[in-house]
A and B are shown apart, each in its own frame.
Chain A
Amino acid sequence: MTHPPVVHIDPGPRLSEATVCGDRMYLSGMIPEDTSADIAGQVRQVLAEIDALLARGGSDKSKILSAQVWLSDIGDFAAMNAVWDAWVVPGQTPARATVQAALSEPAMKVEIMVVAAI
Protein backbone atom coordinates (compact mmCIF):
# COMPACT_ATOMS: atom_id res chain seq x y z
CA MET A 1 0.00 0.00 0.00
CA THR A 2 1.43 3.35 -0.96
CA HIS A 3 0.74 6.52 0.93
CA PRO A 4 1.01 10.14 -0.07
CA PRO A 5 3.97 11.94 1.52
CA VAL A 6 3.47 13.71 4.83
CA VAL A 7 4.09 17.45 4.62
CA HIS A 8 4.99 19.26 7.84
CA ILE A 9 3.97 22.88 8.29
CA ASP A 10 6.36 24.83 10.56
CA PRO A 11 8.09 21.73 11.89
CA GLY A 12 9.79 22.28 15.24
CA PRO A 13 11.91 20.09 17.49
CA ARG A 14 8.82 19.22 19.51
CA LEU A 15 5.91 19.41 17.13
CA SER A 16 4.72 20.77 13.83
CA GLU A 17 2.01 23.39 13.63
CA ALA A 18 0.23 21.10 11.19
CA THR A 19 0.74 17.97 9.14
CA VAL A 20 -0.75 17.29 5.74
CA CYS A 21 -1.25 13.85 4.22
CA GLY A 22 -3.19 13.36 1.03
CA ASP A 23 -6.49 15.18 1.27
CA ARG A 24 -6.49 15.64 5.02
CA MET A 25 -4.63 17.88 7.45
CA TYR A 26 -4.09 17.75 11.19
CA LEU A 27 -3.47 20.92 13.21
CA SER A 28 -1.74 21.09 16.54
CA GLY A 29 -3.65 22.39 19.52
CA MET A 30 -3.76 26.14 18.87
CA ILE A 31 -3.36 28.51 21.80
CA PRO A 32 -3.60 32.31 22.06
CA GLU A 33 -0.48 34.46 21.70
CA ASP A 34 -1.84 37.14 24.01
CA THR A 35 -3.04 35.43 27.15
CA SER A 36 -3.97 38.77 28.73
CA ALA A 37 -7.07 38.73 26.51
CA ASP A 38 -10.41 37.60 27.90
CA ILE A 39 -11.98 34.33 26.80
CA ALA A 40 -13.63 35.89 23.71
CA GLY A 41 -10.35 37.50 22.69
CA GLN A 42 -8.40 34.30 23.23
CA VAL A 43 -10.88 32.27 21.19
CA ARG A 44 -10.71 34.86 18.38
CA GLN A 45 -6.91 34.61 18.34
CA VAL A 46 -7.00 30.82 18.25
CA LEU A 47 -9.56 30.75 15.43
CA ALA A 48 -7.49 33.25 13.42
CA GLU A 49 -4.44 30.99 13.82
CA ILE A 50 -6.53 28.03 12.67
CA ASP A 51 -7.74 29.99 9.62
CA ALA A 52 -4.14 30.86 8.71
CA LEU A 53 -2.86 27.30 9.08
CA LEU A 54 -5.79 25.84 7.16
CA ALA A 55 -5.04 28.26 4.32
CA ARG A 56 -1.39 27.17 4.25
CA GLY A 57 -2.52 23.55 3.92
CA GLY A 58 -4.92 24.40 1.11
CA SER A 59 -8.02 24.07 3.27
CA ASP A 60 -10.45 26.41 4.98
CA LYS A 61 -12.90 26.39 7.87
CA SER A 62 -15.75 25.04 5.70
CA LYS A 63 -13.79 21.78 5.47
CA ILE A 64 -13.14 21.12 9.17
CA LEU A 65 -14.13 17.56 9.98
CA SER A 66 -13.50 17.38 13.71
CA ALA A 67 -12.59 19.75 16.53
CA GLN A 68 -11.58 19.35 20.16
CA VAL A 69 -11.92 22.36 22.43
CA TRP A 70 -10.28 22.51 25.84
CA LEU A 71 -11.25 25.25 28.27
CA SER A 72 -9.33 25.89 31.48
CA ASP A 73 -12.72 26.80 33.00
CA ILE A 74 -15.83 25.10 31.61
CA GLY A 75 -17.71 28.14 32.91
CA ASP A 76 -16.37 29.89 29.77
CA PHE A 77 -18.39 27.51 27.57
CA ALA A 78 -21.03 30.07 26.56
CA ALA A 79 -18.48 32.83 25.92
CA MET A 80 -16.36 30.47 23.79
CA ASN A 81 -19.46 29.36 21.86
CA ALA A 82 -20.48 32.94 21.06
CA VAL A 83 -17.22 33.46 19.16
CA TRP A 84 -17.22 29.93 17.72
CA ASP A 85 -20.83 30.19 16.45
CA ALA A 86 -20.03 33.43 14.62
CA TRP A 87 -16.95 31.84 13.03
CA VAL A 88 -18.19 28.46 11.74
CA VAL A 89 -19.63 28.17 8.25
CA PRO A 90 -23.40 27.57 8.38
CA GLY A 91 -24.26 24.07 7.16
CA GLN A 92 -20.63 22.98 7.38
CA THR A 93 -20.04 22.66 11.09
CA PRO A 94 -17.57 20.05 12.32
CA ALA A 95 -18.03 17.25 14.84
CA ARG A 96 -16.85 18.78 18.12
CA ALA A 97 -16.18 17.98 21.76
CA THR A 98 -15.47 20.46 24.55
CA VAL A 99 -14.16 19.60 28.01
CA GLN A 100 -12.34 21.38 30.81
CA ALA A 101 -8.61 20.74 31.16
CA ALA A 102 -5.66 22.47 32.77
CA LEU A 103 -3.58 23.96 29.93
CA SER A 104 0.17 24.43 29.63
CA GLU A 105 0.17 28.01 30.96
CA PRO A 106 -2.04 29.28 33.79
CA ALA A 107 -3.30 32.35 31.88
CA MET A 108 -4.32 30.30 28.88
CA LYS A 109 -8.09 29.87 28.75
CA VAL A 110 -8.60 27.89 25.54
CA GLU A 111 -6.90 25.43 23.22
CA ILE A 112 -8.46 24.09 20.00
CA MET A 113 -7.26 21.21 17.79
CA VAL A 114 -8.85 20.41 14.43
CA VAL A 115 -8.69 17.91 11.59
CA ALA A 116 -9.72 19.17 8.16
CA ALA A 117 -10.21 17.91 4.64
CA ILE A 118 -8.34 19.67 1.84
Chain B
Amino acid sequence: MSIKRINVGARMSSAVVHGNTVYLAGITADDAKADVKGQTKQILDKIDKFLKEAGSDKSKVLSANIWLTDISTWSQMNEVWDAWVSPGNTPARATVEAKLAAPGLKVEIMVQAAL
Protein backbone atom coordinates (compact mmCIF):
# COMPACT_ATOMS: atom_id res chain seq x y z
CA MET B 1 0.00 0.00 0.00
CA SER B 2 1.42 3.38 -0.94
CA ILE B 3 2.34 6.11 1.51
CA LYS B 4 1.44 9.72 0.76
CA ARG B 5 3.26 12.43 2.69
CA ILE B 6 2.02 16.02 3.00
CA ASN B 7 4.31 19.02 3.50
CA VAL B 8 7.44 16.88 3.60
CA GLY B 9 10.34 18.46 5.45
CA ALA B 10 13.89 17.38 6.17
CA ARG B 11 12.91 16.49 9.72
CA MET B 12 9.25 15.49 9.50
CA SER B 13 6.13 15.64 7.41
CA SER B 14 2.98 17.45 8.50
CA ALA B 15 0.84 14.43 7.67
CA VAL B 16 1.29 10.90 6.38
CA VAL B 17 -1.47 8.88 4.73
CA HIS B 18 -1.39 5.08 4.66
CA GLY B 19 -4.40 3.04 3.66
CA ASN B 20 -7.46 4.64 5.19
CA THR B 21 -5.59 6.35 8.01
CA VAL B 22 -3.87 9.73 8.17
CA TYR B 23 -1.32 10.50 10.87
CA LEU B 24 -0.69 14.17 11.61
CA ALA B 25 2.42 15.56 13.25
CA GLY B 26 2.17 17.29 16.59
CA ILE B 27 0.81 20.68 15.52
CA THR B 28 1.72 23.91 17.31
CA ALA B 29 0.71 27.53 16.80
CA ASP B 30 2.57 29.74 14.32
CA ASP B 31 1.96 32.77 16.51
CA ALA B 32 3.22 31.75 19.93
CA LYS B 33 2.33 35.17 21.33
CA ALA B 34 -1.36 34.21 21.31
CA ASP B 35 -3.00 32.96 24.50
CA VAL B 36 -4.09 29.35 24.99
CA LYS B 37 -7.41 29.91 23.24
CA GLY B 38 -5.75 31.69 20.34
CA GLN B 39 -3.06 29.01 20.01
CA THR B 40 -5.66 26.22 20.15
CA LYS B 41 -7.67 27.96 17.41
CA GLN B 42 -4.56 28.29 15.22
CA ILE B 43 -3.73 24.62 15.75
CA LEU B 44 -7.23 23.38 14.96
CA ASP B 45 -7.28 25.51 11.79
CA LYS B 46 -4.02 23.85 10.70
CA ILE B 47 -5.39 20.42 11.57
CA ASP B 48 -8.49 21.14 9.44
CA LYS B 49 -6.22 22.12 6.55
CA PHE B 50 -4.02 19.03 6.75
CA LEU B 51 -7.01 16.71 7.18
CA LYS B 52 -8.56 18.24 4.06
CA GLU B 53 -5.35 17.80 2.08
CA ALA B 54 -5.33 14.16 3.16
CA GLY B 55 -8.96 13.65 2.14
CA SER B 56 -10.37 13.58 5.66
CA ASP B 57 -12.09 16.03 7.99
CA LYS B 58 -12.62 16.61 11.71
CA SER B 59 -15.65 14.31 11.84
CA LYS B 60 -13.26 11.41 11.16
CA VAL B 61 -10.61 12.08 13.80
CA LEU B 62 -10.04 8.79 15.64
CA SER B 63 -7.62 9.78 18.35
CA ALA B 64 -6.05 12.96 19.70
CA ASN B 65 -3.14 13.66 22.04
CA ILE B 66 -3.06 17.12 23.59
CA TRP B 67 -0.12 18.57 25.48
CA LEU B 68 -0.44 21.75 27.52
CA THR B 69 2.56 23.47 29.07
CA ASP B 70 0.27 24.37 31.97
CA ILE B 71 -2.53 21.91 32.74
CA SER B 72 -4.46 24.68 34.51
CA THR B 73 -5.25 26.03 31.03
CA TRP B 74 -7.28 22.89 30.35
CA SER B 75 -10.68 24.63 30.39
CA GLN B 76 -9.47 27.40 28.07
CA MET B 77 -8.25 24.82 25.55
CA ASN B 78 -11.49 22.86 25.97
CA GLU B 79 -13.63 25.90 25.23
CA VAL B 80 -12.10 26.16 21.76
CA TRP B 81 -11.94 22.38 21.30
CA ASP B 82 -15.60 21.86 22.24
CA ALA B 83 -16.70 24.44 19.70
CA TRP B 84 -14.53 22.79 17.02
CA VAL B 85 -15.35 19.10 17.28
CA SER B 86 -18.05 17.53 15.16
CA PRO B 87 -21.05 16.78 17.43
CA GLY B 88 -21.61 13.04 17.71
CA ASN B 89 -18.21 12.37 16.15
CA THR B 90 -15.82 13.30 18.95
CA PRO B 91 -12.51 11.42 18.98
CA ALA B 92 -10.83 9.43 21.71
CA ARG B 93 -8.61 11.99 23.45
CA ALA B 94 -6.00 12.36 26.18
CA THR B 95 -4.57 15.58 27.61
CA VAL B 96 -1.49 15.91 29.81
CA GLU B 97 0.97 18.60 30.79
CA ALA B 98 4.38 18.63 29.08
CA LYS B 99 7.11 21.07 28.20
CA LEU B 100 7.10 21.84 24.48
CA ALA B 101 9.90 22.43 22.02
CA ALA B 102 9.86 26.20 21.66
CA PRO B 103 9.39 28.99 24.18
CA GLY B 104 5.93 30.54 24.12
CA LEU B 105 4.19 27.42 22.86
CA LYS B 106 1.33 26.57 25.17
CA VAL B 107 -0.48 23.82 23.27
CA GLU B 108 0.42 20.95 20.94
CA ILE B 109 -2.11 18.58 19.37
CA MET B 110 -1.44 15.36 17.42
CA VAL B 111 -4.30 13.47 15.77
CA GLN B 112 -4.96 10.37 13.73
CA ALA B 113 -7.97 10.26 11.44
CA ALA B 114 -9.78 7.93 9.09
CA LEU B 115 -10.15 8.96 5.46
Contacts and interface: CB of A to CB of B under 8 A. Distances in A.
A118 B9 CA distance: 22
Contact of B16 (A74, A77, A84, A95): A95
Interface band, chain A: 20 to 34
A117 B19 CA distance: 9
Interface stretch (B20-28, B30-38, B79-87): B20-28
Given A88-B11, A93-B9, A93-B10, A23 B99 contact: no
Interface residues of B, number: 28
A7 to B, nearest CB: 17
User: What secondary structure prevails in chain B residues at the interface with A?
Assistant: strand
Interface in A1-33: 23-24
Interface of B: 1, 3, 5, 8-16, 18-19, 21, 23-26, 65, 67, 98-101, 108, 110, 112
Given A88-B12, A97-B65, A97-B108, 12 more contacts: A63-B3, A65-B18, A81-B11, A85-B11, A91-B8, A93-B8, A93-B12, A94-B23, A96-B12, A97-B67, A97-B110, A98-B26
